[in-house]
Amino acid sequence: MSKTTHKKFNLAGPCDPANHYTIPVLRRLPVIEEMIEAKNYFIMRAPDKSGKTTFINALTDKINADGHFYAIACSLVSLRSVKLKSEVATAIVAALNQSMAASKVDVIKLKAFAFDSASGMLSPERKIRNCLKYLCEDLDKELVVFFEESDSLSGAGLMTFLSQLKEGHASRQRPGKKFPRSIGLVGVRSVHDLGDPNEAGKDVIGPREMFNISKATVTYPNFTREEIRSLLQKYTIDTGQQVSVQAIDRVWFWTEGQPWLVNALANETVAKILNNDYEQLVNSSHIDLAAKAFFPRRETNIHNLLERLIEPRTRRIMEPFIVGASWKKQATKADIQYALDMGFMKREGRTYLPTNPMSAEIIFGTLAGHLFETVANQICANDS
C-alpha cells in the first residue's frame, strides 16, 4: 500500500472511518441507547475535542439503519450570537430544517422545510414545540433528536427552548399527541449549569428546573489504555509500523486518554518525529519527544479552547492552580464547574488535579505567555 492511501489520525472534525483510524464508538457509551429505548430525555456532555459528534453521527446512522425509529442530529452552534427569544426560536427551527435536508434518510429529507409557512405564524413560545409536534405526526415512526452544541444557547432563548421541550414531553401522555420519543442535549457543558450565577440560591426558575425531565447527565469518556492500544494497533495493521508497549504507556501517561490529544500525539510522533518512516519501531522516547515538541505551539484546533483560558473566570482558578497557590477562596462554584467542564482540570475525591500532563504543559505555557505579555504591555505603558 502506498503512503498516500494510508488512513490518518484525525485532528479536525468528526472521525470518518473510511479515512481515519478509529475505534468502535457506540460501545463506549451504551447507556445512551438504553435511554432511547426507555423513551428518556437526557444530557450528554464532554470537553471540546472528545469525540461527541463522532459518537452522535454513528448513533444517528445506526438508529436509522435499524429501522425502528428515525433520528436526526441538529447542531445549534450557529446560535451562539443569537440572544433574542424570538430569533432563537426561528433559528432553531431553521437548524432543524437544515439537518433534515442533510439527512441520509429520504423520508426525513422530504419533510425539510415542510412546516415553514405554518411556523412563521407561531409565537416564539410555541414555534419549536409545534414544529417538532407536526413533524412527529407526519412521520410513520417515532423520532429521536440530538441537539448538538446545546450549550450555545443562553438567557431567555435557552429558557424558551427548554420550556417547549418540557411541554412537548408532557404532551406525549395525552391520546393522539406526538412528540420526539427521545431528545438528547449535547454539548461541552450541561444545560443545567448555564443559569445566571447571580441567581444561585434565589427562588428563580433556571435551566435545571426547566429541564427537570432529563433522566440523566452523562459524560462521554476519555479513551481507556486498552482503547489507545486498539487505536494504535489499527495504525500498525494499516502501515506495518510497530508500536512498543512502552510507547503506548507513554501515550497514556501524557494524555490520560483525551481523544484529540491521543490522535495529535500519535500523529506528531509518526509524521514529524519519525517522518513516516514505517520501518522504525515507535518507542517511548519518540512519544516523549513528540509531546515536548507539541507544547510550544498553539494548534489551530485548540485555539478556541486556549482563548477561554485567558477569560477572567478561568484565570482566577488556573493561574494560582498551576503554581500550587490557594485559589478556592477567590473562585465561585460556577468558576470551578466551568474549569472542570472545559477540561482544564479534574476532580478526584476532594482534590483538584491537572487533567493530564500534556494539558498541564499547554495550559501553563498559554497562561505564562499571557502573563508575560500583560506585564510587558504595562511596562511599555509606564515608559511612554
Q: Assign 3-class secondary structure to 208-251.
A: HHHCCCEEEEEECCCCCHHHHHHHHHHHHHHHCCCECHHHHHHH
Q: Report the CATH architecture of 223-294.
A: Orthogonal Bundle (1.10)
Element (H, E) at 366: helix 357-383
DSSP state of 281: P
Strand order in the sheet with 214-219: 70-75, 143-148, 182-187, 41-45, 214-219
CA dihedral 29, 63, 178, 180 (to 10 degrees): 40
Q: How far apart are the first and last CA of the chain?
A: 63
Half-sphere exposure for 133 (CA within 13 Å, toward CB): 19
Q: Report the CATH architecture of 26-219.
A: 3-Layer(aba) Sandwich (3.40)
Enumerate the domain spans of the chain.
26-219, 223-294, 300-383
- For every one of its 384 residues, what pLDDT tens digit does the chain have, with 9 covering 90 and above? 445 689 999 999 999 999 999 999 999 999 999 999 999 999 999 998 999 999 999 999 999 999 999 999 999 999 988 878 789 999 999 999 999 999 999 999 998 888 765 566 678 888 999 999 999 999 999 999 999 999 999 888 999 999 999 999 999 988 888 999 999 999 999 999 887 655 555 545 778 888 888 999 999 999 999 999 999 999 999 999 999 999 999 999 999 999 999 999 999 999 999 999 999 999 999 999 999 888 655 555 566 667 777 788 888 888 787 777 777 777 888 888 888 998 888 999 888 888 999 888 878 777 766 554 544 444 455 555
- Residue 334 contacts by C-beta under 8 Å, 6 or more apart in sequence? 193, 197, 200, 313
What single string gives the DSSP state of each residue in 91-152?
A: HHHHHHHHHHHT-S-HHHHHHTTTTHHHHTTS-HHHHHHHHHHHHHHHSSS-EEEEEETGGG
Pick the closest to residue 92 from 84, 309, 246 (CA basis): 84
For 46, 337, 352, the CA distances from 343, given in Å and listed in that order, are 8, 10, 12
8 Å CB contact between 312 and 319: no
Angstrom distance (rounded) from CA 180 to CA 184: 10
Q: Given the C-alpha cell 431528545, which residue does it identify?
A: 183
What single string gives the DSSP state of each residue in 46-109?
A: --TTSSHHHHHHHHHHHHHHH-SSEEEEEE-GGGTT--SHHHHHHHHHHHHHHHHHT-S-HHHH
Pick the closest to residue 107 from 156, 146, 72, 81 (CA basis): 72
Angstrom distance (rounded) from CA 157 to CA 83: 6
Half-sphere exposure for 60 (CA within 13 Å, toward CB): 23
Q: Is 278 left (phi over 0), alpha (psi -120 to 50) or beta?
A: alpha
